[in-house]
């Protein structure tokens, strides 16, 4: 599956999230039950993907393996950002658990487990877009890496608008504040391994 879309992310406190939910309660329609999401992000031994994400505006990617609490399947996901826009490719794998994932190859790079990111996600329909709300975000280092910290609890919630390319772009007028650039993976690397760009 290959899906092109626009994304807008907002890092909010618990109070800001509460105000958002109250303000737009009549427009937020739950899509399906909440799920716990478990992701394993891959990177080179010297964090090439992390560094590239801060060096380039486009022509960059992230590769992760993901599992949902309502499904035993582990998916391989590649998120990309090119001059033509953002997108995501998803493929079902045969892995039974994350411990079986030792490496991955992509774009001539040998990728190793880098960081685990876990959180609870809620799904809503909002005007002509889909909104996800991520709470209880935790970062955990991969065992192969020399870590600075163990489990790190991220103090913010993430609201994300996901808008398919075919949808009327007027939806952007419904953004409740200015979006910001944010990556759970980058935050995990910086928190766990004391890296900073």
User: Which tens digit of pLDDT belongs to each residue from 89-102?
Assistant: 999 999 999 999 99
Closest-CA residue to 57 (of 87, 83, 88): 83
Would you say the C-alpha torsion 16, 169, 53, 101 has a positive or negative sign? Answer: positive
Distances (CA, A) of 34 to 8, 98, 181: 20, 22, 25
* Digit-coded pLDDT (tens) for 137-159: 999 999 877 767 789 999 999 99
Three-class DSSP category at 87? strand
What tokens were used for 196?
Answer: 């900073």
Separation of alpha carbons 184 and 116, rounded Å: 10
Contact indicator for 139, 115 with CB cutoff of 8 Å: yes
CATH number of the domain that residue 101 is part of: 3.20.100.30
Q: Which domain holds residue 102?
A: 2-193
Counted domains in the chain = 1
More confident residue, 58 or 153: 153
* 126: nearest Cα among 158, 163, 156, 157: 163
Lowest mean pLDDT among 4-18, 129-143, 158-172: 158-172
Written as one string, the DSSP assignment of 120-182 is EEEEEEETTEEEEEEEEEEEEE-TTS--S-S-EE---EEEEEEEETTS-GGGGGG-SS-----
Whole-structure pTM value = 0.89
């Amino acid at each position: 599956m290959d899906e092109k879309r626009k994304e807008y992310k907002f890092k909010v406190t618990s109070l800001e999230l509460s105000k958002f939910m109250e303000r737009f309660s009549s427009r937020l329609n739950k899509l399906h039950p909440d799920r716990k999401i478990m992701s394993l992000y891959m990177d080179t031994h010297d964090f090439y993907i992390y560094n590239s994400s801060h060096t380039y505006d486009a022509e960059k990617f992230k590769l992760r393996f993901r599992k949902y609490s309502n499904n035993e399947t582990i998916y391989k996901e590649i998120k990309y950002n090119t001059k033509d826009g953002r997108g995501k490719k998803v493929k079902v794998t045969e892995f039974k658990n994350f411990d079986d994932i030792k490496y991955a190859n992509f774009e001539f790079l040998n990728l190793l487990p880098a960081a685990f990111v876990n959180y609870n996600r809620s799904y809503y329909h909002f005007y002509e877009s889909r909104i996800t709300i991520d709470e209880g975000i935790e970062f955990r280092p991969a065992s192969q890496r020399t870590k600075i910290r163990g489990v790190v609890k991220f103090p913010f919630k993430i609201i994300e608008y996901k808008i398919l390319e075919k949808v009327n772009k007027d939806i952007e007028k419904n953004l409740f504040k200015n979006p910001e650039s944010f990556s759970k993976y980058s935050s995990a690397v910086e928190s766990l391994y004391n890296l900073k760009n």
